[in-house]
């Protein structure tokens, strides 16, 4: 009986280790948007202003610090209903804009790097 209990505990520990390892791998691979940090504080105000000036208006729907394209990313829904991502450098200067394909389904190419 003792050997059977020991075997069950070892099997349970192995299953738990596999589950934790699988979760760690999934987290490292990262699904889109899982580790996004929104822009906050005065940086948010500056980023919004720069993005809206770059797009000629609209409304900010999402922000992110340290995206793959620049120091900041601001998603703007333009007045025509299309969404664009405005990428900003650390000084809040636009360095690129691209259509948000998830939201608008087409590439506009305006100001792309």
Question: What's the pLDDT score for residue 111?
Answer: 42
Overall pTM > 0.85: no
- How many Å apart are CA 18 and CA 77, to the nearest integer? 42
- Please classify residue 65 by burial: count the beta carbons closer than 10 Å to its beta carbon, then call 0-12 exposed, 13-18 middle and 19+ buried: middle
Predicted local confidence at residue 29, as pLDDT: 41
Predicted confidence pLDDT, tens digits, the chain (113 residues): 666 656 665 755 556 554 545 444 444 444 454 568 999 999 999 999 999 999 999 999 999 998 788 999 999 999 999 999 999 999 999 999 988 776 544 444 444 33
- pLDDT of 96 reads 92
């Amino acid at each position: 009986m003792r050997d059977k209990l020991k075997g069950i505990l070892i099997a349970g520990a192995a299953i738990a280790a596999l589950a934790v390892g699988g979760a760690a791998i999934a987290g490292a691979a990262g699904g889109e948007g899982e580790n996004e940090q929104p822009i906050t504080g005065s940086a948010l105000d500056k980023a919004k202003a720069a993005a809206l000036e770059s797009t000629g208006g609209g409304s900010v729907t999402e922000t992110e610090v340290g995206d793959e394209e620049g120091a900041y990313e601001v998603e703007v829904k333009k007045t025509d209903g299309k969404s664009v991502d405005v990428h900003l450098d650390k000084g809040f200067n636009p360095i690129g804009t691209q259509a948000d394909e998830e939201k608008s389904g087409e590439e506009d190419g305006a100001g792309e790097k």
